[in-house]
Every structure is written in C-alpha cells, then in structure tokens.
C-alpha cells in the first residue's frame, strides 16, 4: 500500500512526477475535470442565487471509483492539479468526491516540474484557495448563462447548431468590425520621392521630407502627381549638399520572458504555429520529456500565465551561464520584469522560462520532436536574452538640401550585440543601414530620382497573433482562453482562416449583427474586460462571486426578453455554385467548414454528398499538362496537385509558377518563408534558387 497518493491532471504529468517522488508515492491522473455542469440543461438554479448543479462527467464513473479506492488505501492524499483557477477548481471537486476536508492542507502546485520543486511543494501543502475556486465558478456560470440562454435563440431565429459565448462573441465582433473598416475604407493618394545619392563611391538613399523655411524644417505632403512633378522640376540636380548631420547612440532593450500571449504571438510569427499547436507543444515541454540518462524532465515552467516575473534562482542561474558563455559584459546583472500594469491576482505564476538553464537547445535537441525543439529554443533564447544587456547602435541622421528642399537619410550600425547575440527579433529595427562618412556642406552626386504614386492602405485583417494581441490589450479573455476561443469561432463557421488571416463568414456577420443589436453587454469589449477584472477581484477575495453574476444577469435577462419578442426569423442563404451534384442533380452550395470553403448538396440529409472546391492556379502540370489546383490536407495545410489525380501523381507543398528555370529550363516553385520569398528550381541536380 502506497503511503501517499498524488492526483494530477494528465497521465504524462503523472508519469514524470512519479519518477521524482519514488516508491512511497503513487501518482495518478484525473484526466482533466471530473465534475461539471450538465450538458443537457442549464444546470444553474437562477432563483436560488445562481447555485450550480454539478454532476459527475459522463464516462468518468470508473475513474472516480478507482480514485476513491486509491484514496481510501492511502495514508495521505495530495491534490496537485494545474496551478491556476481551473486546476484549483478541479482539486475542489476531487476533494468533494474523495470526502476530504477542504480546510486541511492537501493542495500542492508545481510552477515547474523539477525534482527540487516537486519535493519542496509536497513538503509544503496548503489548504484550497476558495477565492480562486469562486473565480472559476463565476466564469463557468457566466459562460453557461450566455451560452445556454442565447444559443437556443440563435437556433430558433437563424439555424440549429449555432452558439454564443461570452468571449468568443467578442472575438467574432472584432473580426467583423475590422472587415467593416476594410469595406468602408477609401484609399487616399500620396506620392513619395527618393533620391539615390553617392559619396566616396558609396551609394545610399534619401527620402523627400519637406522644405527649409529660414532655419525651420517644414514637412510637406505630396498629394498628387502634379505636386510631385513641381518639386522634381524645382530641384537642382547638380546641387545636393549635406545641410545637417546628427550622430548619436541608441539602445535596443531586451524583451521580458514570455507570457502565454506573447509566446503564442511569437510562435505564430516565427514558427507558423497555431495557438492550439503552441499550447499542445508547450504542455508537453512542461509535463516532461524523456532525456534518457537524466530521466523524464519538465523543461519549462507553467505555460498559462500573465506574468513576466521569474524566480531569483532562475535569474542567478542565467547570469552565471551568460557570464561563462559570452562574458561578463553581456550580463545585465540579473533583472526581474515585474508586471507593473497587472493586478496581483494575475501574477501568481512566473513567466514562461526554461526549468534548467543547463539544458540549452543544442544539448537536448536529439530528445525532442522537431516542433518541441523549435518552441523550446524560442523560450530558452527569449529568457536568456531577457538577462542580457541592451544592443547598442551608432546612429547617423543626415538632412540634405537641394534648392531649399530637404531630403533625409538615416543609418545605424550595431556596435554591441547584447541580447541580439541570443534572441533574434527578425525585424527591420535590427537591420544595419550603412551611410558614407557625411559632414555638413559635403557635396553629393545625384544618381537617380524616383517618384512613386502610393495609396493609403486599409487596416490589416487579424491573424492569430494580432487577434490575441488585441484581445490581451483590451483585457478580453485570459491566458487559458485565447486558444480555445480561436478554435471555437472557427469550428462554428463564424470565421475562416484563409492565407493565415481571419475573414468573417456570412453566418458570422449575421450572428454578430444580431448580438450587437440585442446583446450590447455581451459583445461590448469594455464590458467584457470589466467582467474579467471582476473575476480577478473575486480571485483576490475582494468581491463575492454570486454578486458579480447577479449584477450581470439583471441586465442580461432584460436584453434576452426584448430579443425573444423583437427578432424575426432570419434566413442565411448558402451561396449557390454552378457545380451539379452527381448523386441527385441539384446545384451544390458553398459551405464553410473548419478548413475553409467546400461544396455540399443542399438536399441534406437525403443527399449527403460533399466535395472540395477546386481552385485552379493557371499553371500547367509539369508531368501531364493538366490543371494544377490548390488543395488542403486533412490538417488544413495547403498543397498543390494535378487535377488528373490519380492518373497523374504530381504533388508539391510549394506553389508552382509558370516561369522556367533560367539554368535548366525546368519547372520552378515559389516558397514563402517567414522573412523572405524564394523561387526554386524543382530539379535538385540544378539547384537554382533566388530571393524575391
């Protein structure tokens, strides 16, 4: 009989911790929640002060029976579910089922799964944090009220299977609002003039700024071609002189350790990971990787956090590593990034960092999958970079005159890499721009003048990274909700992700219009952010959870009553295609699914025929001359294949193009990488490649 029982959430975590604690402990997994609100009904007694009616989750009966037996056979039980509100609530439900006194000290939490942390946490259990539990209950009840009260209304007024959510509806509104901005945007014309200049056989570029009025520099806009031509004609092509030179220094400060949001954003931009993939891989790194002789080891701290604060031990370890590896001049002496704008309730965990500095990415890459290695390196580099000095640049800003018109040129050169030696930001700020040695009154040779017509651009559509960023800035949702929110709005067909940006579907626009008109509180960004603040106040023990729910419901039930009365039946028409269903002869309609658009027979459920939309790219197949079409894999990744498949088996992940290779006249493809676009010859023996 094991003396001690430890219950965690996941089997992988159980396996890791079991090896650390030894034979006196038995570690088992609850596999997530074991009690929840019922799916078949509201499960909240509104008239009884919003009392939730929890039930055992269907299918968890045998597991609950096993947990009860294990607890009965053990001298002591420890509940070690995840260190957040959700984990606290799971421990509370476990305590109820196992008959534990919730005032006793049996709750342990691991911010990182290392032998030292696990053993220290087991030695120092605490009582359940009722305030954290209440904050989770409030979130669960609020989400249930919104979902189970609005969803039936959507079924009745629009179509079955729709849902509304407290956070997901705001996310959809953000995407719909951005689309409306783009639709109503009116481009404004403007012109730019650039001068290509030379001094000491070194070419550089200067951009038109304005005119010199006495000693004052006036910035000028160039609204049209007529004004651009007037300025070009006024310039003295033979007299471009340096009017002013300012030399200086600039520091580029390192970034703080990752939070959930910044990790998801960076993984999206740098690795092309979806938010879901980022969290799955991060969970694997947190719960433990088998490092063979070192055993199963948790490699990063807990990945759901709003905090950038890290432990003093981690800072000291990083300082030692940096001074030994790069030299003392690269260490910033050890810096902690306190969350100045965050509430204490959100600062319970450290930022995301490696658990052990000694496991640098190169040392352990052979034990990690490709995706694990990429994400671990991102986290490791970011944390080490946060403990290094700022990058230093020499800067030069020159003002150049020609007939009283001002052109400006800027240059910068890195004189000390600092944190950039480890953490690559891969942006334009890092790029060096070299200028010749310039001093006042230097005469420059004009090589070329280039004027260009431009138009202002509408705001960009959201991608996963920018949507998470704006949600965080507005205070909508929390670290644990970003990824599930995006998954939900895609699954419901309210938005689609095409070429990595979000577009609202017709259905999404209709649902958003209805919610915006009749449920202003639910989709109001500021109201939702205030509600999140209320949840933090509950977690801090400052507010009672039922009072927050009651206040919300008072307004919500009024909106619900008006909507029930006023909303007429809304028909969302599917777009009819020219494609004929080969099974029943009807014109197929365009539907939106998880991976974008597809064709479906409108005769469903009598006829269940579906097929992908064939999207030709106007490039002949290099094998048979047929049409190349854009397709999607089962995981939603775009690839290119011949329309004559299976008789022709041509397939390519990279997009084929019409141009032939200048070296071998063979077919070529275009590959879009994070920071560049490359054209490659498909013949490996040729090897031709060039950047665009």
Across the 692 residues of the chain, what is the mean pLDDT of every consecutive 10-residue run? Answer: 86 92 93 94 95 95 95 95 93 96 93 91 96 96 94 84 88 96 95 96 96 92 96 96 95 94 94 94 95 91 92 94 96 82 53 95 95 97 96 95 96 92 68 87 96 95 95 89 92 88 91 92 90 92 96 93 83 78 90 71 88 83 89 75 87 90 90 78 86 78
- Cis preceding linkage at 269, omega within 30: no
Residues with Cβ within 8 Å of 604's Cβ and at least 6 positions away in sequence, in order, are none
Assigned CATH for 4-128:
3.40.50.140
Residue 116: how many other CB atoms lie within 10 Å:
11
- pLDDT 10s digits, 195-235: 999 999 999 999 999 999 888 999 999 999 999 999 999 99
594 vs 654: CA distance, rounded Å: 22
User: What would you report as the CA-atom Rg of the chain, rounded to the nearest whole angstrom?
Assistant: 30
Contact predicate 81/87, CB 8 Å: yes
**CA-to-CA dists, residue 619 to 93, 413, 615, 688, 690, angstroms:** 59, 44, 11, 20, 20
Q: Give how far Cα 282 sits from Cα of 258, 310, 477, 478, Å.
A: 12, 18, 19, 17
Nearest to 227 by CA among 191, 202, 199: 191
Residue 76, beta-bridge partner list: 4
CATH code, 189-253+391-455: 2.70.20.10
Spatial distance between the Cα atoms of 460 and 457, rounded to a whole number of angstroms: 8
587 φ, ψ to 5°? -75, 125
Question: Residue 199 half-sphere exposure, CB side, CA atoms within 13 Å?
Answer: 18
The pLDDT score that the predictor gives to residue 635 is 62
Token code pair at residue 4: 């001690």
Domain map of the chain by residue range?
A: 4-128, 155-184+463-566, 189-253+391-455, 260-386, 573-613
Distance CA 197, CA 644 (A): 54
Q: Kindly state the tokens that stand for 22.
A: 């030894």
pLDDT in tens, 548-574: 999 999 999 999 999 988 887 766 677
pTM for this entry? 0.80
Q: What is the pLDDT of residues 609-656, one digit of tens each?
A: 998 777 788 899 988 888 899 887 766 678 899 988 888 889 998 999
Q: How many residues does the chain have?
A: 692
- In sequence order, what are the residues at sequence separation of 6 or more whose Cβ sits closer than 8 angstroms to the Cβ of residue 368? 289, 376
Nearest alpha carbon to residue 50 among 389, 396, 551: 551
Angle between helices 545-566 and 130-157 (to 10 degrees): 0
| Residue 233: burial class (beta carbons within 10 Å; 0-12, 13-18, 19+) | exposed
The CATH code belonging to domain 260-386 is 1.10.290.10
Point out the residues that are catalytic: 302
pLDDT confidence of residue 343? 45
- The pLDDT assigned to 263 comes to 96
The DSSP code sequence of 74-110 is: -SEEEE---SSHHHHHHHHHHHHHHT--TTSS-B---
Give the per-residue pLDDT at 571: 65
Topology of 155-184+463-566 in CATH? Topoisomerase I; domain 2 (1.10.460)
User: What separation in angstroms does the CA of 659 have from each of 80, 622, 667?
Assistant: 60, 12, 7
């Amino acid at each position: 009989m094991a003396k001690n029982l430890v219950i965690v959430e996941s089997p992988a975590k159980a396996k890791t911790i079991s090896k650390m604690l030894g034979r006196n402990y038995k570690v088992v997994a609850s596999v997530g929640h074991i009690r929840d609100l019922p799916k078949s009904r509201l499960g909240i007694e509104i008239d009884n002060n919003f009392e939730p009616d929890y039930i055992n989750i269907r299918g968890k009966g045998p597991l609950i029976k096993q947990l009860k037996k294990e607890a009965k056979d053990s001298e002591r039980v420890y509940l070690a579910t995840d260190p957040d509100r959700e984990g606290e609530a799971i421990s509370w439900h476990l305590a109820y089922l196992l008959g534990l006194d919730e005032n006793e000290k049996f709750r342990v939490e691991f911010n990182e799964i290392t032998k030292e942390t696990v053993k220290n946490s087991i030695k120092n259990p605490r009582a359940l944090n009722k305030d954290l539990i209440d904050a989770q209950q409030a979130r669960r009840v609020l989400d249930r009220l919104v979902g189970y009260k609005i969803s039936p209304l959507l079924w009745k007024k629009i179509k079955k299977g729709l849902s509304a959510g407290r956070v997901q509806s705001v996310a959809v509104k953000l995407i719909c609002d951005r689309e409306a901005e783009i639709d109503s945007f009116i481009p404004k014309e403007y012109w730019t003039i650039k001068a290509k200049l030379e001094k000491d056989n070194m070419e550089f570029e200067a951009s038109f700024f304005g005119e010199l009025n006495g000693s004052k520099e006036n910035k000028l806009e160039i609204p049209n071609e007529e004004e651009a031509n007037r300025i070009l004609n006024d310039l003295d092509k033979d007299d471009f002189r340096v009017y002013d030179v300012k030399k200086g220094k600039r520091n580029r400060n390192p970034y703080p350790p990752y939070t959930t949001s910044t990790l998801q954003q960076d993984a999206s931009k740098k690795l092309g990971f979806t938010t879901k993939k980022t969290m799955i891989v991060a969970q694997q790194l947190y719960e433990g990787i088998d490092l063979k002789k070192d055993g199963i080891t948790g490699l990063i701290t807990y990945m759901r956090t709003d905090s950038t604060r890290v432990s003093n031990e981690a800072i000291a370890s990083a300082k030692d590593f940096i001074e030994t590896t790069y030299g003392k001049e690269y260490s910033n002496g050890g810096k902690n990034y306190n969350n100045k704008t965050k509430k204490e309730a959100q600062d319970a965990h450290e930022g995301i960092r490696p658990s052990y500095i000694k496991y640098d990415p190169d040392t352990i890459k052979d034990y990690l999958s490709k995706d694990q290695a990429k994400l671990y390196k991102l986290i490791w580099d970011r944390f080490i970079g946060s403990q290094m000095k700022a990058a230093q640049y020499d800067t030069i800003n020159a003002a150049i005159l020609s007939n009283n018109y001002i052109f400006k040129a800027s240059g910068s050169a890195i004189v000390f890499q600092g944190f950039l030696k480890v953490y690559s930001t891969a942006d334009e700020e890092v790029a060096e721009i070299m200028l010749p040695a310039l001093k006042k009154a230097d005469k420059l040779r004009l090589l070329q003048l280039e004027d260009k017509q431009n138009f202002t651009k509408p705001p960009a559509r959201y991608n996963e990274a920018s949507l998470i960023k704006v949600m965080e800035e507005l205070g909508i949702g929390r670290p644990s909700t970003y990824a599930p929110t995006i998954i939900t709005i895609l699954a419901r067909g309210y938005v689609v992700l095409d070429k990595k940006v979000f577009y609202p579907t017709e259905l999404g626009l209709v649902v958003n219009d209805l919610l915006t008109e009749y449920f202003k509180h639910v989709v109001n960004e500021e109201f939702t952010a205030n509600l999140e603040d209320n949840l933090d106040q509950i977690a801090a023990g400052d507010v009672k959870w039922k009072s927050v729910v009651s206040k919300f419901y008072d307004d919500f039930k009024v909106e619900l009553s008006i909507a029930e009365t006023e909303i007429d039946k809304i028909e969302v028409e599917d777009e009819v295609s020219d494609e004929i269903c080969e099974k029943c002869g009807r014109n197929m309609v365009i539907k939106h699914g998880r991976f974008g658009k597809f064709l479906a027979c409108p005769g469903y459920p009598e006829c269940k025929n579906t097929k992908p939309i064939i999207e030709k790219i106007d490039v002949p197949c290099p094998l048979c001359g047929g049409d190349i079409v854009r397709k999607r894999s089962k995981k939603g990744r775009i690839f290119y294949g011949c329309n004559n498949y299976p008789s022709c088996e041509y397939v390519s992940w990279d997009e084929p193009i019409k141009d032939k290779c200048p070296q071998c006249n063979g077919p070529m493809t275009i590959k879009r990488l994070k920071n560049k676009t490359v054209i490659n010859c498909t013949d490996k023996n040729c090897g031709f490649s060039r950047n665009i």
